[in-house]
Amino acid sequence: DGGITQSPKYLFRKEGQNVTLSCEQNLNHDAMYWYRQDPGQGLRLIYYSQIVNDFQKGDIAEGYSVSREKKESFPLTVTSAQKNPTAFYLCASSSGTSGRVYEQYFGPGTRLTVT
Q: Which stretch binds another protein (CB under 8 A): 11-19, 33-41, 66-74, 77-85?
A: 33-41
DSSP assignment of 7-72: E-SEEEE-TT--EEEEEEE-S--SEEEEEEE-TT--EEEEEEEEETTEEEE-TT-TTEEE--SBTT
Q: Is 8 in the site for another protein (CB under 8 A)?
A: no
CB of 108 to another protein, least distance (A): 6
Q: Is 2 in the site for another protein (CB under 8 A)?
A: no
Q: Is 105 in the site for another protein (CB under 8 A)?
A: yes
Q: Which of 44, 52, 67, 71 binds another protein (CB under 8 A)?
A: 44
Of the candidates 115, 38, 24, the one whose C-alpha atom is nearest the C-alpha of residue 73 is 24
Nearest CB to another protein, comparing residues 34 and 82: 34
CB of 35 to another protein, least distance (A): 7
Distance of alpha carbon 21 from alpha carbon 102, whole angstroms: 24
| Strand-pair partners of 13 | 114
Question: Looking at this protein, which amino acid is placed at residue 25?
Answer: Q
Applying CB under 8 A, the residues found at the interface with another protein are 4, 33, 35, 41-45, 48, 58-59, 88, 90, 92, 99-109, 111
